[in-house]
A = this chain, B = another copy of it.
Amino acid sequence: MIHDERSPLLTDLYQLTMLQAYRENGFDDTAVFEFFVRALPSQRQFLVAAGLDHALGFLEQLRFSDEELTWLDQSGKFSTEFVAWLSKFEFTGDVHAVEEGRLFFANEPILRVTAPICEAQLIESRLVNILHQQTLVASKAARCVLTAPDRLLVDFGMRRAHGAEAAMGAARASYIAGFTGTATVLAGMRWGIPIVGTMAHSFIQAHTDEMTAFRNFARSQPENVVLLIDTYDTLRGARMVVDLSDELSSEGIRIRGVRIDSGDLAALSLEVRQILDAGGCDDVMIFLSGSLDEYRLRELQAAGTPAAGFGIGTHLDVSQDAPSLDCVYKLQEYGGQARRKRSSGKATWPGRKQVRRQYDSEGLLCGDVLCLEDESEDGESMLRQVMAGGRRVRIDTLAAARERCAAELDRLPQSLKLLDGEAEPYPVRVSAGLRELARDVDRRFG
């Protein structure tokens, strides 16, 4: 309908015009491109890698359809020879990457493509598109998880995510980062992510009285009775829940929770807790939603909210305080020679690189080195080969990525867990070998 997400034409026009020029001028040597984030948003102290599985899936199936080839041919922009060559296009390169769920920092490549230059070039736009969105949301979600580690966190953002793919990517990325689940049903079907849901105001409004609405919902979903109590008057809603709890218990139905979506959430949740407890409903959990993010979670907890869980919607799915990352995919080597761009404020480090990570005596991250792939620097090598000749060489699972992220967040120094980023940035040292290579490249080019 709106697009075909697998289409190789989900790319910028210049990729195709450059490809034709490469072809016509005999450029078919191996190129090395790396994906990295140039600078972290001021609201982020670390990022969580996500999206790799879909990026690799995109590469594996990349082909031009007959419809696309015909359209390109008739567009008048490309030669017949070039379109014929595209008809045989596939991705045959190698990919090295940082696994999903791991933490990374500015200027550290999390994906490296080694392939004939036309293959490595064409995929730029869509690779960035996939990795950017999931990394963006995983990084935002991790902040929520660090802020409220002992509460249930659920992705409620589908409706205001930027389209279908963003909604699905957000459900997946937030689950990697440690969310309990999502409200997006398709994410449950596709990936087995736990799906969570309550009820909407419209359900209450469609009934002539709130109590009947609660009763009808409870009997229809006896295993999942979470009642929305703020449609008219939240405290009155809580008292109705107490009354209904007695009535339903005789039917063997237990009310699991109530949701509050408006008003002073901290104060209301405390008052509702009192009403529920006084009414013998101390096992009914309180769930809060409504414009929540990590900053609001911090406030609510500081105010002593007894909520057991939070639905995080729009702010998570669009990464409201930092809705984009300054991420790029840059040529670092061609034909065996390292390359770099030197554009003002946008210069890159040349060559095939590796990130080596060091840990302190407590196992916490204490510093990375950005170095050449074959340079001897201590530390854990972050980039590993994930694709050879266009085929994956290792299979990762969503569950593994989620466990990995939890372990990573445990290894994060306390200062980097702060929401407001007043700490010193995490140290990423550029190796001597890399600095020397940059000087060497500058002597040879430009």
Chain A residues with a Cβ under 8 A of chain B: 1-7, 9-18, 20-22, 24-25, 27, 31, 33, 54, 57-58, 61, 68, 71, 75-77, 117, 121, 124-126, 128-130, 132-133, 136, 156, 158-169, 183-186, 188-190, 195-206, 208-210, 216-217, 219-221, 223-224, 230-234, 261-264, 314-315, 318-320, 323-325, 327, 330-331, 334, 339-346, 444-446
Query: 5 new A-B pairs (CB below 8 Å) besides A10-B164, A25-B216?
Result: A13-B197, A24-B219, A129-B158, A205-B331, A231-B341
**Shortest beta-carbon distance from A430 to chain B in Å:** 20
Task: State in angstroms the CA–CA spacing of A183 and B319 once bound together.
Answer: 25
With both beta carbons as reference points, the residue of chain B lying nearest to A26 in the complex is identified as B216
**Inter-chain contact B206/A12, CB cutoff 8 Å:** no
Chain B residues with Cβ below 8 Å from A334 are 205-206
Interchain CB contact under 8 A, A5 and B314:
no
* A18-B200, A162-B166 known; A232+B445 contact, CB < 8 A: yes
- Given A261-B343, A320-B324, A446-B231: A21 and B162 interface contact (C-beta under 8 Å): no
Set of chain B residues within 8 Å of A4, measured between Cβ atoms: 186
**A128-B159, A205-B331 given; A12·B57 CB < 8 A:** no
CB distance from A120 to the nearest CB of B (A): 9
Q: Smallest distance from the beta carbon of A395 to chain B beta carbons, Å?
A: 16
Which of B58, B219, B232, B343 contacts A1 (CB under 8 A)?
B58
Contacts A20-B221, A319-B323, A344-B262 hold; do A158 and B216 have CB atoms under 8 A apart?
no
Given contacts A201-B343, A345-B262, contact A158 B1 (CB under 8 A): no
Contact of A12 with B324 at beta-carbon distance under 8 Å, contacts A17-B220, A230-B344, A339-B205 already known: no
CB<8 Å pairs between A and B, sample of 24: A2-B165, A2-B169, A5-B164, A9-B186, A12-B183, A13-B185, A14-B199, A16-B185, A21-B217, A21-B221, A25-B220, A77-B221, A77-B223, A117-B206, A128-B160, A129-B159, A133-B162, A162-B165, A163-B164, A165-B165, A201-B341, A234-B344, A262-B343, A318-B323
For A350, the closest partner residue in chain B by CB is B205
Establish whether residues A77 and B205, one from each chain, have CB atoms under 8 Å apart when the complex forms.
Answer: no
Q: Contact at B340–A205, with CB atoms within 8 Å?
A: yes
Which of A57, A121, A186, A264 has most chain B Cβ within 10 Å? Answer: A186
